[in-house]
Amino acid sequence: MRKSNIIFFIIVCTLVVTLLSSSPLRSEIYKYVDESGTIHFVDDVGKIPQEYRNQVTVYEDKSEAASEGETPTVSEGETPAVSEGEGEESEDYLTRQMEELQRQKEEEAREEYEKSLETKVTISGNHVLVPVLLGYGGREAQTMLVLDTGADLITIHRQIADQLHLPLTKRADVRVPGGKTVRARLAQLDYVRVGPYEARDIDALIILHEGSPTPHEGLLGMNFLRGLEYSIDFDNQVIRWRP
């Protein structure tokens, strides 16, 4: 090999080594936010679901993400990327994230439970109209019944009984609000469901409603309400059931 070629080869090698030594290798961290608002940090773009790849933020390292005041949130089943050599600090970070995830899950469960103890109602004059689900023979009817602690039995209009194909049994005379007495029939529902509570094999009076339409289809009586504790928030129009 000619001496000039050897010198040229040495110069090229020197430049390559210099460039490599002056450009430290950096890993990239990818951030995306899922549909529930949870922030995820991953070290491989392939770990990002396809639908979130158009909103990815790329960080050169975790220190850059931290400088923006963002703390990665760990999703269930996900382990945050940890660089080698972080030791106990990395373990503490992972522990804190898992504890935060557990706290969030417990908070969500508590909020869901409290929400299940509230039933949205409609206040119409002095009447509290409660959404009630009635069931018989595999059929269901969603109704609005007036909460009436003076009624011994649930009372529903005849058209609701016909909708459920509810068989009628005994006859009875029933006094309705206003002092009027009407003829009624007795029937038994498979279940009555209000908010978090359900009563099964419950008796109901069936009356034939006459006159102008009403915003309700009957009365929610004491054979369902007996033993239940609740309060009515008239301002927010909800019933809050006590467990």
Within a 10 A sphere around the Cβ of 151, how many other Cβ atoms? 23
The per-residue pLDDT for range 78-126, each reduced to its tens digit, is: 445 444 555 556 678 778 888 888 888 888 877 777 777 899 999 988 8
Domain hosting 51: range is 27-83
- Please give the pLDDT value at position 19: 47
Q: How many domains does the chain have?
A: 2
**pLDDT tens readout for residues 133-169:** 999 999 999 999 999 998 899 999 999 999 999 998 8
Any idea what the CATH number is for the domain that residue 123 is in?
2.40.70.10
Helices (H), the chain: 3-22, 62-67, 88-116, 158-163, 222-225
153, 234: one domain: yes
Residues 131 and 47 in one domain: no
* pTM for this predicted structure: 0.54
